[in-house]
Structure 1
């Protein structure tokens, strides 16, 4: 596989994950609770991971289990708060705000692993906060905060924690084992949340509307999306992968407008562009670009 094909596959993953915001909204409007959504998609993910990676999973050690459990808890925290968030806000807001994990990652890496902070981190966070202010409209005549936007922002912290941990704490563990543990924790966590927090309400679900979107989320967004991502990232650079994957927010917004969940407004465009700019600034390695440019000038 070439780098170009890898990048195309990552773009496909971004499209799939972007579509997931709208599909989740459809499922929620069919009276499926966030806990049950996460339980269902996690269960499908577990089954499919077992089918394709059974031989590796049965060799899991206790160390693998512990690492996967921590990663799974962080990942589930992101999924459940993001799913709750899209209940109360638009898919675009949910997509853009949760994508701000890219901006949060370097600060967490510094706090936990003492990874050096770059100046661009502070510039990026400024653009991000400005974009979120415009996009969500949290500042008007009276300070207001949409609860859905708040949950979306909390999910970004969980995802940032998951990414930092997976980047620095899971180097010796097989990817398929980690994916299996992510799926298991999501299944168990979703079921627990559904039964004990949401008190297990199934009677009001419109299954005729919900079943196909639920299958789509579990099979396409979770299993296919994450498997393709892992495969593609082996054949492209981290910078290219980050820049492409952040487009899930853009695709989430496009699908949201296309399916009529919100109107195409100037606030959506300006706020979204500022957030995407902040993420781009965080992902681009300007020092490396300058070094390459100097080398080309010398030649």
Structure 2
């Protein structure tokens, strides 16, 4: 099946739904005493195992170039995952989603600095509406803005995510999706195991498995295997800025799931913020030059 830009963006929207639920599910796992390192090890291991089962023939044909590309993507991706997981320990899922989603501001500049992608005026307009929507969504404008350790980790996560999105959009065009996904999983598994072993000793015995196992399986299968594979596949067929704006809906879905699970309360700000974010995506996706040209052609006919 030929993947058009529209299909790719639809897949990214589905990914945003999965990732929007991730903050809440991670929070549930953390409340069951699963540590950040172990959560990342478990989801990475399950992710890698599923990739091997479904794409074994492609994985064994990995070249050194594929390995190098996947390794870079893996380090960037793991940096985002581990800082997000740590950050959720000290802040609400909704707040974590908002701060992590600010990666959309950084993406066009990274793409411009590294790959020479021209900055468009509509990118700034779209980013403005996106940030305004996310700000209203979380109610930060009505509160004294204080940055705690959880917020700080979430912001570092945003920087890693921005770099990952740009790299996946422009740096992995020649590498098979399954190979990149496998390397993301391997790096996450090794990184999570290292942190779990050397920085979180004795934490395994404290896990309440009856409450932790379902969230851990969901994170590994849905958020990592399904979501990450769809992300890598889709980003080969759309721009980094478009991908970032669509995936920024993760914050909207994160707030929805947070309300549904009782971590936050529903407010009008959720609706207004969501509308502004949808508007920002429309601004980014519409080709205004083509619309103007078509309108002029229509006027000439009459």
TM-score range, shorter chain: 0.7 to 0.9
Query: What are the superposed Cα offsets for residues 37-87 of structure 1, whole Å, 9 maximum, x if unpaired?
Result: 111100001001111111111111111111111111111111111112222
Instruction: Tell me, yes or no, if the aligned pair for 1:138 and 1:146 is still in contact at 8 Å.
Output: no
1:276 and 1:98 map into 2 onto residues whose CA distance is 18
Matched, 1:50 2:56: no
Instruction: Tell me, yes or no, if the aligned pair for 1:243 and 1:280 is still in contact at 8 Å.
Output: no
Query: What are the superposed Cα offsets for residues 233-287 of structure 1, whole Å, 9 maximum, x if unpaired?
Result: 78x8669866654433222211110111111134555555555555554454433
Matched, 1:14 2:16: yes
Match of 1:171 in 2: 173
Once the two structures are TM-superposed, the CA of residue 5 in structure 1 deviates from its matched residue by 7.3
Match of 2:206 in 1: 204
**What is the aligned counterpart of 1:39 among 21, 41, 57?**
41
Give 1:245-264 correspondences, 5 Å limit: 245-264=247-266
Query: What are the superposed Cα offsets for residues 177-230 of structure 1, whole Å, 9 maximum, x if unpaired?
Result: 111111111111111122233335112111110011101110111112233455
CA RMSD of aligned residues (A): 3.1
Match of 1:214 in 2: 216
Instruction: Tell me, yes or no, if the aligned pair for 1:138 and 1:144 is still in contact at 8 Å.
Output: no
2:183 and 2:271 map into 1 onto residues whose CA distance is 37
**What SS is found at the alignment partner of 1:172?**
coil
Once the two structures are TM-superposed, the CA of residue 232 in structure 1 deviates from its matched residue by 6.2
**What SS is found at the alignment partner of 1:203?**
helix
1:7 and 1:289 map into 2 onto residues whose CA distance is 20
Instruction: Tell me, yes or no, if the aligned pair for 1:45 and 1:218 is still in contact at 8 Å.
Output: yes
2:299 and 2:103 map into 1 onto residues whose CA distance is 36
**What is the aligned counterpart of 1:192 among 187, 191, 194?**
194
Mean CA deviation greater in 204-213 or 107-116: 107-116
1:147 and 1:284 map into 2 onto residues whose CA distance is 38
1:93 and 1:141 map into 2 onto residues whose CA distance is 12
Instruction: Tell me, yes or no, if the aligned pair for 1:24 and 1:217 is still in contact at 8 Å.
Output: yes
Over 3 Å counting, the alpha-carbon distance change for 1:31 and 1:131 in structure 2 is same
Over 3 Å counting, the alpha-carbon distance change for 1:26 and 1:141 in structure 2 is closer
**What SS is found at the alignment partner of 1:88?**
coil
Unaligned 5+ runs, structure 2: none
Mean CA deviation greater in 207-216 or 167-176: 167-176
**What is the aligned counterpart of 2:122 among 104, 120, 145?**
120
Query: What are the superposed Cα offsets for residues 135-154 of structure 1, whole Å, 9 maximum, x if unpaired?
Result: 55667786522432332222
Over 3 Å counting, the alpha-carbon distance change for 1:138 and 1:11 in structure 2 is closer
**What is the aligned counterpart of 1:27 among 16, 26, 29?**
29
Over 3 Å counting, the alpha-carbon distance change for 1:140 and 1:71 in structure 2 is same
2:238 and 2:149 map into 1 onto residues whose CA distance is 36
Over 3 Å counting, the alpha-carbon distance change for 1:137 and 1:258 in structure 2 is closer
Give 1:229-244 correspondences, 5 Å limit: 229=231, 244=246
Instruction: Tell me, yes or no, if the aligned pair for 2:9 and 2:238 is still in contact at 8 Å.
Output: no
Unaligned 5+ runs, structure 1: none
TM-score (norm 1): 0.84
Give 1:12-161 correspondences, 5 Å limit: 12-131=14-133, 134=136, 143-161=145-163
Give the length in aligned residue pairs: 298
Query: What are the superposed Cα offsets for residues 154-193 of structure 1, whole Å, 9 maximum, x if unpaired?
Result: 2121111011112222221111111111111111111112
